[in-house]
Structure 1
Amino acid sequence: MSTHHLGAAQPSPDDTADTADTPVLLDRREGPFGEVALRRRGAHFEIIANGTFLMDTSDGRSERLLISAALDSLDSPRGAHVLIGGLGVGFSLAEAAQDRRPGRITVVEREPAIIEWHTQGDALLAPFAGTGHTDPRTEIVNADLLDHLRTTENRYDALCLDIDNGPDWTVTESNDSLYSEAGLDLLEQTLADEGVLAVWSAAHSRTFEARLRARFARIEVIEIPVQVERGIPDVVYLSSRV
Structure 2
Amino acid sequence: MSTALPERDGSAAVVTLDRREGPYGEVALRRRGGTYEIIANGCFLMDTADGRSERLLVRAALDELERTGPVAAPSVLIGGLGVGFALAHAAAEPRWGRIAVVEREGAIIDWHRGGPLAAFSAGALDDPRVDVLHTDLLEYLAVADGVHYHALCLDIDNGPDWTVTDGNAGLYGPDGLAALRRRLEPGGVLAVWSARPSGAFEGALRAAGFTDVTTREVAVARGVPDAVHLARRAR
TM-score, with normalisation over the residues of structure 1? 0.88
Q: Which residue of the other structure, out of 132, 136, 139, is the alignment partner of 1:144?
A: 136
For the pair shown, which has the larger CA radius of gyration, 1 or 2?
A: 1
Aligned mates of 1:73, 1:207 — CA distance in 2? 21
Q: Which residue of the other structure, out of 223, 230, 233, is the alignment partner of 1:238?
A: 230
1:202 aligned residue: 195
1:7 aligned residue: none
Alignment partner of 1:167: what SS? Answer: coil
Aligned-residue offset at 1:216:
1.6
Aligned length: 220
The runs of 4+ residues in structure 1 deviating greater than 4 Å are none
| Residue type of the alignment partner of 2:212 | R
Aligned-residue offset at 1:22:
2.4
Q: Which residue of the other structure, out of 98, 102, 106, is the alignment partner of 2:92?
A: 98
| Residue type of the alignment partner of 2:167 | S
Calculate percent identity across the aligned residue pairs. 57
2:183 aligned residue: 190
Alignment partner of 1:30: what SS? Answer: strand
1:56-98 deviations in Å (ceiling 9; x for gaps)? 0010000000001001111334311100000000000010000
Aligned-residue offset at 1:241:
3.0
Alignment of 1:150-169 (within 5 A): 150-152=142-144, 153-169=146-162
Greater relative CO, 1 or 2 (CA 8 Å, sep 6+): 2
Q: Which residue of the other structure, out of 28, 32, 49, is the alignment partner of 1:58?
A: 49
TM-score, with normalisation over the residues of structure 2? 0.90
What RMSD in Å do the two structures reach over aligned CA positions?
A: 1.2
Contact 1:150 1:186 in 2 (8 A): yes
Aligned mates of 1:84, 1:217 — CA distance in 2? 21
Gaps of 5+ in 1: 1-18
Structure 1 residue 172 and structure 2 residue 165: aligned?
A: yes
Contact 2:218 2:226 in 1 (8 A): yes
Alignment partner of 1:196: what SS? Answer: strand
Q: Which residue of the other structure, out of 9, 12, 15, is the alignment partner of 1:21?
A: 12
When residues 132 and 20 of structure 1 are mapped into structure 2, their CA distance, relative to the original with a 3 A threshold, is: farther
